[in-house]
A and B are shown apart, each in its own frame.
Chain A
Amino acid sequence: MMITTAALIRDTFREAFARKIFWGLFALSTLMILFFLFILKIDVVEGAIATVTLFGRPAGPRGGVDVDRLVRNVYGGIATFLYTWGMALSVFASAGLIPSVLEPGRIELLLSKPVSRLHILLGRFLGNVAVVACNVAYLVLGIWTIFGVKTGVWGPQFLWAIATTVFIFAVLLTVVVLVGVVFESAALATMVTIALGLVSPILAQTTTMVRLLSSELARDVWRALYHALPKVYDLGRLTLDLVRREPAGDLTPVFSSALFGAAALSLALYIFSRRDF
């Protein structure tokens, strides 16, 4: 069991890196790390920012700005960037990894091995999550270390960004897997998943929309969609609160998104187990 799971995860890593797009993600992360390492210079005097220089020129707050506050704000900015663009790029990069396994000539060979279909798909899913988790961890840990060394402030709350980003990626990946298994189309999987991410901030305005909508049915549909679909926006807000060390709000979006992910993955597994190849 462990040998086959490890083999499936290793295979996903191999394929991910054979696709240049994953090197692109790592290159982008490295660029960001190098940016903070070499370009941004922060002088701290007695717990306050003396100067912040960017490309050697003074930038940002001058004198008397609390280091801790600045670092928290920077963490928030990076976490938001990572959560939105990093997520979109990761979904885009991952979308081909499921349909590629289902290609004729490849899937038959996999199915001929003494491995259950459930195991094959879960191994691929875990491998994909692991690849993105490595990239996110690399970026977050890199920036966290640089800021820690440059400012002397080691805010562990920034590391929450790894957990929340990987979590919501895993939830969205279940949609990629489901669409991939049903339609074998990387493009469609990307479109559906990105659409879910885009629609999330709109659906999250439930209180306002319930007031604005005239029909009770429309209000119910809105509420149902909000509760059923993954709460990318709410979890983004939660991430921001966590990395800024502000009180985290309601944790329901975590559980409902996890439930959505479990349901989508279960459906994908069921369809995969029933399909003929």
Chain B
Amino acid sequence: MQSEQAIVASNLTKVYRSRWTGREVRAIDGVSLAVPRGAAYGLLGPNGAGKTTFVKCLLSAVHPTAGAAYVFGRNTADPAARQPIGYLPENHRFPTYFTGEGLLDFYAALSGLPAAERKRRIPRLLDLVGLEQWGRVRIGKYSKGMLQRLGLAQALIHSPQLLVLDEPTDGVDPVGRRHIRDILRQLESQGVTIFINSHLLAEVELFCDEVAILRKGKLVLTGAVRELVAGKGYRLTASGVTERLYDELRARAAAAASRDGYVDFQFTTRQQVNAAVDALRAEDCEIEAIVPTASTLEEVFVQAVEGASEERPEAARA
């Protein structure tokens, strides 16, 4: 629990093989990323990009084909590594025979909380998510938004240090969304790391400090949201970049990512990108592309995703 990184994915790869045809699908392909402790981090990507597989690898619901995932320095294959994780899955299916209180009690017990502690925490959590009047009602009677809030309470019941949320505001009305965002802000201020997998770019832009964008299982961009959306800028792609130069340019860039021998830098000004080109050419690096980037996260997302598919078909095939 002393690690500075809440999550570290190291060359994480998951290949699904059809049992009958032997056909392979690379759901995630060599993804390496680090989520600092205490950050609010968003994982973005189009449908089928591998976001859910990545999250499932983090939770050991899916076994990686290669690479490993670590939470606070411990390999997630070890059940004890999941102790500090609170997880809210997308499309969760809570057993309807539970009441709200019963469900929280069950999942708290699975996290090892003693009965007295569970009894103390359950009313507080129900109150936090605005379900204090619904604790003794069977969850079959809950609306989708209420189930989502109960799911959040479930994820928080054992005071986790890392919250992994898959579409946390799915089905929640705007007021409820704001409420959830406020809860998450409060948790973030308490040092809890929040990792969100979401399609709602505006939501992520509002809440997250950093994002990673996946496309077809590969990481195409990582960076600080504030810098990515600071204004129009440029994404520079190069190859043959030495580690020293990569670190040097990364320090000047708003965001940077490296994959398959290519590196991407996101610069906010033309001067910065020109300086980077000069530095790269001085060391005989190849400039693969310079693409203007836009100012909203949605535009950054679209450019990153479409750019990745248009620019390097050979890389995508690799």
Contact = CB atoms under 8 A, between A and B. Distances in A.
Contacts of A207: none
Contacts of B154: 109
Contact of A110 (B91, B102, B110): B110
Interface in B64-87: 79-83, 85, 87
B102 A113 contact: no
A15 B109 contact: no
Contact of B63 (A15, A104, A274): A274
Contacts of B56: 108, 276-277
Contacts of A4: 109-110, 112
Interface in B84-130: 85, 87, 89, 91-98, 102, 105-107, 109-115
A119 B112 CA distance: 13
A223 interface: no
B213 to A, nearest CB: 23
A115 to B, nearest CB: 6
A interface, over-half SS = helix
Interface of A: 3-4, 6-8, 10-11, 14-15, 17-18, 100, 103-116, 119, 274, 276-277
21 contacts: A3-B115, A4-B112, A7-B105, A7-B106, A8-B110, A11-B106, A15-B95, A100-B95, A104-B91, A105-B91, A106-B92, A106-B93, A107-B61, A108-B92, A109-B87, A112-B82, A113-B110, A114-B80, A276-B61, A277-B56, A277-B62
9 shortest interchain CB distances as A-B pairs: A105-B93, A18-B97, A7-B109, A112-B87, A113-B110, A114-B83, A112-B59, A276-B62, A111-B61
Given A3-B109, A109-B107, 5 more contacts: A14-B95, A104-B91, A104-B93, A108-B89, A112-B61
Interface of B: 16, 56, 59-63, 79-83, 85, 87, 89, 91-98, 102, 105-107, 109-115, 154, 164
